[in-house]
A and B are shown apart, each in its own frame.
Chain A
């Protein structure tokens, strides 16, 4: 890690200035409060300007509060456009989904109320059932409170740290330039940062604001007992060999924070702003000397947000449950779409699979070793000299044939397309982009020229919708020669990475569409590439094929366009460990489809680490093995018979659970609730789970605990809840609500099924997920103490958008009173085509059911089948015998009941 290459807060003037400010230094008050166009609007101006000159200098800011359905409050603060600011400040377009505006509640009425003996009354508006939003006029403060109790939930500027640097014209002799390591940022508009404090009440922990390689619950960065720490930085950067446990900003940024506490539940705060952001989490007592005392002092968490540019466009989410907050957030920024089924299976990647022979070889080795996989990836070396959309003709002379060979086994290919375009006159993409003026400009207005893989490169100005459309067209089969319908795309380096730029990225004074500076847009640049690429694949498939695009950079809303991964990690145990909080944090902030490179990108993992990584990675939403060019080959079969077996077993588990995973992806695409979740999302009242980031939930039914140390013999696993848990492989039951010290074997990482749940599985192994379509199902029912359980299964064609028209199967399985019932959850309006699937249930396993029953009656066919003892998983030799309904033979898509006799 090259620390010196990156700016710290002290080298970042806006951050340094903001951090130096004292609580209570904001002197703004709200005036002229009215209702206008359904919003509450007001002016913010200094209470007592020091002198008349200042009064002219400081123009009032415009504040507006809007209320949306489902408990969402939006606060905007900007300069008053009617007062002629030098430039319109940047508001990030295209992130808020269009549907969101239709959820706005038009405010008609505003009540005023004098609270806690304030000299001036505050304005109060209705927010949602049980919540109100309050604008305190003097001093200016915005907060949400519970209606009856008046308890605060979340507030802004309670510590008076709000500051808004307004754009000015440059005065005589004023030097606005900033220099860093030989790079000069001209800053033609001078200082324009914004900062403020946000407080979360009755919060035990705060989470979110990816991407950092750090713990799930965010540790304080300032305050008593906190060692000199950087704030959490949000600035998309290509960081070489990043270190774990650091607040340093990585490849993506989502300025969304979630608080959670036992008493009040969960709340969220999202600031839609794409400029560099720095966020401090304050340790308790940081404000002891400020003289500010806030109501409900108990377990409040204060945070401090600083951004270099843009406006205040902030959203408050009232929860009150964790899933509510995620739903509220994704109602603003969008839901993750249904992925291609194949994309939820195992991906095999390496920098680089060299040539067609290599691809063929690796592919056949998977078959030879009975290891299923779905996607083979090609990194940058497959191109003709890093000219994306081309092939190295020596190494890949027959790309279409190569893809067809994979496709014949139901497998897919992904190629990389990065945003830097080689400046080479003979390269058609460059030629066209130059002619059309499609590149980002430098501060002088010339095409920005930076260094990346191909050498001298330029970068499409993807903020421009016209250029996005052009970019999308590059992916058509005509334009991207040598591609077939089974090929999908990987967007790397889209922070963007510029090897010779400041902090390895684009200079902040580079210019985008509409005169927007990169400083204002920076964190969303990769987002637009992800968007345009995904759109390109949809176009390519004539709207009938779901896109798959993996991106490294991301921003709020990226969940709408595909998957992300945690970038260039290392083959170290600590990186295995930190992958879990990183992925959980992404999930909390909408990015459900994420994963870390299994095995670690840099370095050579010991076989044990690699095996443990596969065992854990099999539960990542995005499951891909990847490795750096300089590392030894590490395909699953290269570490001896035993390790091959262990890795095969880990990958098999993923394939068995694919029906369950796919159902969870469906849940995410309709509710925003991520595929993998922190324990507290499922157990929000159990404090023991709040900072647990070694274990996680896959959906609501499976708990997985990683093994993060070498030669581990034991692991302490906390199993939450009052119900018991069943070991996923052995069926052994464990009590909930306590920590178990478990003996660990090399066979697997600890994983448990929560009682009261039903998991659909497919136990037959194929080359790839697409070959499993008609395979029979196994249902694993873990009964709770009242011998009941329920679960769901969602199935569609795994590929098209037909499901949007109701062409899918969605079943709910309910077990109670000794009876399993399958209920339809899909809408059955006439005229809609039903998804037909000829697949049966071949086996039903009952955990926690007494032995001794001999048969079961199936309705409506009224036939009897055997009940016997069988293995929980056929390939797990050691598992104990469990109650099994043998060959019920019912169609998965039908309504039926199975009664144990």
Chain B
């Protein structure tokens, strides 16, 4: 059963020859644990725990640690070390075919495998060479964009400051005008009232006795009172109910009363159903406990009442304990609602369910909304016209929502240097013009002030939101050389079966199926020295962790997402090829590797 020729030198690396060819008969184990005789060299018995004495490997060798790209290296190392665990030694046959079939003869595929590995390596090197050039461009571009963004930001901040002042002035002016207007109105009202009172007084004196008059006034007052109250109770059920309860309230006239009653009826109806609900629950509980006299169940234990469910619902419900399947979701929810009824008696059964249901049904919409919102970011809201365009953009496979462009068009571009001055001028004019107060206030002038105020403050808020989004953006870590700067605002898509996966660096990652979107995670950070992007805190997984996604970056000539996978439930991984990862150090490493391979290959070949 010895597999290799009885050559005690077998498997010794050239550089180690000296170590073994000592004049003494004893050789030390490399770990220093003991010494062995030369007769024990390659005698198929591990004397040294580290395997120094069995450089050629022992019978039934096992190539456990092989990876294809390592094979050429392994070929060099054949028999060199008792690798891993002492008696487990590298293969005589690279592909381990001696072990697989229990047969000794095996083809030597090391050289072929090595060639494949080398070719692969060379290809990789080419990619890196091209990628590095792309990366440099990218970095240049990033520097420019960054500078541009920073410049814009500082400019906007400046403008903001000025505009803020103007808006403030306009607001003051506007308020003054409004005050004056209010004053005029009050004056008018008082005059009107005085006129009316005078008329009434005349009437009274003419037609009625004093007592009657008093009663009349009393009634009128009451009427106002209960009117107010009715309105109040319309606004707030609870107060309505409470205030309606006192019995000495029958003064109100018919209209009021019926209104109040309707209101009361409503809420007492609610209250009744609430009470019923409680009773039902209690009854249910009682029923159950009579069925299960000894269950001693309290609180939540009892809550999973499954008796009302159809056979199918029950089956789904129980199955969902193990699976958390969506198919079970509905029954699960009904059940949940029931749970809550038992637990929190305040909640109205119907209401709870409806709410729950609504929430469920509209989930998708909300999701989309949130998604759009985030995707387009605040500045897009500034101009609704641009929103649509942006939508189209985001559904294309190579996305750029080019928010910078958009925004510039709105504020910076449309308003060449003079726009601010223009406003300033207008404001000054207004202030001057309205400086002289007129009573009554000139209508057209006040409208002019208002309009100017509205426009300026709108502009201000646009600028402010642009500032906040820009400074938000600039806070991100775009890599040591800002090589990820262009990723901001872009999404990378990959379609796999029925799903479309979207990776939007610095934003989020999602999985879309038809119209429903599942968020796989929000941007968290780079990891592993910018080789991995982490998206975390995605949508919750039933009975599992929150979804998360890990995007591994590797050098490639295009920005492309691929190989999306879910190795562990709700933990996604993807591969993003990008020139940003084509680093020069790595290229050097690869070049060295291929060089050393070429150098050593022929020698090791002889040995085999």
CB-contact partner of A631 in B295, B304, B319, B569, under 8 A: B569
| Residues A453 and B319 in contact in the complex (CB < 8 Å), given A367-B66, A871-B49, A874-B49 | yes
Chain A residues whose CB sits within 8 angstroms of the CB of B60 once the complex forms = 764, 766, 771, 774-775
Answer whether residue B102 sits at the interface, using C-beta atoms and an 8 A cutoff.
Answer: yes
Given the known interface contacts A4-B297, A763-B87, the answer about A451 and B314 at a Cβ–Cβ threshold of 8 Å is yes
Are B65 and A874 closer than 8 Å at their CB atoms? no
Q: Contacts A4-B292, A240-B321, A767-B64 given: A773-B102 contact, CB under 8 Å? A: yes
Task: Give chain B residues whose Cβ lies under 8 Å from the Cβ of A500.
Answer: 311-312, 314-315, 318
Q: With A4-B292, A182-B307, A499-B314 in contact, is A767–B99 under 8 Å at CB? A: yes
Smallest CB-CB separation from A394: which chain B residue? B497
Tell me if A11 counts as interface (CB < 8 A to partner B). yes
B324 within 8 A of A: yes
Query: Chain B 46-63 against A: per-residue CB contact (8 Å), 1 yes, 0 no?
Result: 110100000000101010
Given contacts A240-B321, A240-B322, A631-B569, contact A764 B88 (CB under 8 A): yes
Please, how many angstroms separate the alpha-carbon atoms of A368 and B70 in the complex?
Answer: 12
A455 part of interface (Cβ distance < 8 Å): yes
Within 8 A of A (CB), among B310-337: 311-312, 314-319, 321-324
* Contact-size category for A: 35 or more
Given A179-B291, A874-B86, are A887 and B43 also a contact pair (CB < 8 Å)? yes
Known A182-B306, A409-B100: A630·B569 in contact at CB below 8 Å: yes
In the docked arrangement, what's the CA distance between A452 and B323, Å?
A: 12
B567 interface contact, C-beta 8 A: yes
Q: Is B543 an interface residue (CB 8 A)?
A: yes
Q: With A766-B62, A775-B60, A874-B85 in contact, do A451 and B318 touch (Cβ < 8 Å)?
A: yes
User: In the bound complex, how far is the Cα of B47 from the Cα of A886, in angstroms?
Assistant: 9
Residue of A nearest to B321 (CB): A240
**Of A451, A633, A771, A773, which one neighbours B316 at CB under 8 angstroms?**
A451
Interface residue B514 (Cβ < 8 Å from any Cβ of A): no
- A767 contacts which chain B residues (CB < 8 A)? 62, 64, 99
Q: Which residues of A contact B542 (CB under 8 A)?
A: 630
Please judge, given known A-B contacts A182-B306, A370-B88, A874-B87, whether A456 and B321 are in contact too, CB under 8 Å.
Answer: no
Q: B567 and A633: CB pair below 8 A? A: yes
Cross-chain contact A774 with B1 (CB below 8 angstroms)? yes
Give Cα A10–Cα B86 distance, bound, in whole angstroms: 62
Residues A4 and B295 in contact, CB atoms below 8 Å apart: yes
The total of Cβ contacts below 8 Å across the A-B interface reads 138
What residues of chain B lie closer than 8 Å to A367, measured between beta carbons? Answer: 64-66
A366, closest chain B residue (CB): B64
At the interface, yes or no: A252 with Cβ under 8 Å from chain B? no
Q: Please, how many angstroms separate the alpha-carbon atoms of A875 and B312 in the complex?
A: 56
A838 at the interface (CB under 8 A from B): yes
Interface status of B294 (Cβ within 8 A of chain A): yes
Residues of A within 8 A of B297 (CB): 3-4
A354 to B324, CA, bound (A): 17
Is the CB of A462 closer than 8 A to any CB of chain B?
Answer: no
User: Which residues on B sit within 8 Å (CB–CB) of A21?
Assistant: none
Determine the chain B residues whose CB is within 8 A of the CB of A887 once the complex forms: 43, 45
In the assembled complex, the CB of A885 is this many whole angstroms from the nearest CB of chain B, namely 11
Closest to A840 in B: B1
- With most chain A CB atoms within 10 A of its CB, the pick from B49, B65, B84 is B49
A452 touches B301 (CB 8 A): no
Q: Are B291 and A632 in contact (CB under 8 A)?
A: no
Q: A368-B67, A875-B85 are contacts. A504–B306 as well, Cβ < 8 Å?
A: no
The answer to whether A11 and B293 touch (CB under 8 A), given A631-B569, A887-B43, is yes
Q: A451-B315, A765-B62, A874-B46 are in contact. Are A774 and B87 (CB under 8 A)?
A: no
> Given A409, A452, A630, which contacts B544 in the complex, CB threshold below 8 Å?
A630
B249 at interface, CB cutoff 8 A: no
Q: What's the Cα separation between A139 and B324 when bound, in Å?
A: 58
Residues on A with C-beta less than 8 A from B86 are: 874-875
Which residues of chain A have C-beta atoms less than 8 A from B203's C-beta?
Answer: none
Residue-by-residue, is B61-92 near A (CB-CB < 8 Å gives 1, otherwise 0)?
Answer: 01011110000000000000000111110000
Shortest beta-carbon distance from B325 to chain A in Å: 10
Q: Is A741 interfacial (CB-CB < 8 Å)?
A: no
Contacts of B84 in A (CB 8 A): 370
A4–B311 touching, CB < 8 Å? no
Contact bitstring A872-893, B, C-beta under 8 A = 1, else 0: 0011010000000011000000
- A182 (CB) vs chain B CBs: closest residue: B307
Query: Closest chain B residue to A181 by CB distance?
Result: B307
Asked if A798 is at the interface (CB within 8 A of a chain B CB), the reply is no
A632-B545, A633-B567 given; A456·B312 CB < 8 A = yes
Residues of B within 8 A of A504 (CB): 318
Q: Does B571 contact A (CB under 8 A)?
A: yes
Q: How far is the CB of A630 from chain B (nearest CB, A)?
A: 5
Question: Given the complex of chains A and B, what is the CA–CA distance between A56 and B86 in angstroms?
Answer: 83
Rounded to whole Å, the gap between the CB of A851 and the closest CB of chain B is: 15
**Cα(A410)–Cα(B96), bound, Å:** 12
Q: Is A436 an interface residue (CB 8 A)?
A: no
Q: How far is the CB of A892 from chain B (nearest CB, A)?
A: 13
Q: Take A877-B49, A886-B45 as given contacts and tell me if A771 and B62 are in contact as well, using a CB distance cutoff of 8 Å.
A: yes
Shortest C-beta distance, B197 to chain A (Å), equals 75
CB of B302 within 8 Å of the partner chain? yes
Q: How far is it, in angstroms, between the C-alpha of A766 and the C-alpha of B62 when the chains are bound?
A: 7
A630→B43 contact, CB < 8 A: no
Task: Collect the chain A residues with CB atoms within 8 Å of residue B569's CB.
Answer: 629-632
Assess whether A408 is interfacial by the CB under 8 Å rule: yes
Set A181, A409, A629, A633: member contacting B291, Cβ < 8 A: A181
Instruction: Give CA–CA (A144, B60) in the complex, Å.
Output: 58
B568 at the binding interface (Cβ < 8 Å): yes
Q: Does A790 contact B (CB under 8 A)?
A: no
- Cα distance A613–B567 in the bound complex, in angstroms: 23
CA distance A8 to B315 in the complex (A): 22
Q: Are B292 and A633 in contact (CB under 8 A)?
A: no
Q: CB within 8 Å of B: which of A622-663?
A: 628-633, 652
Q: List A480-518 residues whose CB lies under 8 Å from chain B.
A: 499-500, 504
> Chain B 1-37, CB within 8 Å of chain A: the 1/0 string?
1000000000000000000000000000000000000
Q: Which of A2, A180, A764 has the most CB of B within 10 A?
A: A764
Residues of B within 8 A of A629 (CB): 322-323, 569
Cβ–Cβ < 8 Å partners of A842 in chain B:
45
Interface centre among B86, B301, B318 (most CB of A within 10 A): B318
Over the window 750-780 of chain A, the binary record of Cβ atoms lying under 8 Å from chain B Cβ atoms (1 yes, 0 no) is 0000000000000111110001011100000
The interface residues of chain B lying within 8 Å CB-to-CB of A456 are 312, 315
Q: Contact at A764–B58, with CB atoms within 8 Å?
A: yes
* Neighbouring B residues of A410 by C-beta, 8 Å: 100
**Known contacts A766-B99, A767-B99; A370 and B292 CB within 8 A of each other:** no
Residues of B with C-beta under 8 A to A581: none
Seed contacts A182-B306, A370-B84, A771-B102; 14 additional CB < 8 Å A-B pairs: A11-B294, A410-B100, A451-B315, A456-B315, A499-B315, A504-B318, A630-B544, A764-B87, A765-B64, A774-B102, A838-B1, A874-B49, A875-B85, A887-B43
A residues apposed to B, CB below 8 Å: 2-4, 8, 10-11, 179-182, 240, 354, 358, 367-368, 370, 408-410, 450-453, 455-456, 499-500, 504, 628-633, 652, 763-767, 771, 773-775, 838, 842-843, 870-871, 874-875, 877, 886-887
Question: 29 A-B Cβ contacts within 8 A?
Answer: A2-B304, A8-B295, A10-B294, A11-B292, A181-B306, A370-B88, A499-B315, A499-B318, A499-B319, A500-B318, A629-B323, A630-B543, A630-B569, A765-B62, A765-B64, A765-B88, A766-B62, A766-B99, A771-B60, A771-B99, A773-B102, A838-B1, A874-B46, A874-B85, A874-B86, A875-B85, A875-B86, A886-B47, A887-B43
On B, residues with C-beta under 8 Å from A are 1, 43, 45-47, 49, 58, 60, 62, 64-67, 84-88, 99-102, 288, 291-295, 297, 301-302, 304, 306-307, 311-312, 314-319, 321-324, 541-545, 566-569, 571
List the 8 closest A-B pairs by CB distance, nearest first. Answer: A451-B315, A499-B318, A500-B315, A633-B568, A500-B314, A182-B307, A874-B86, A499-B315
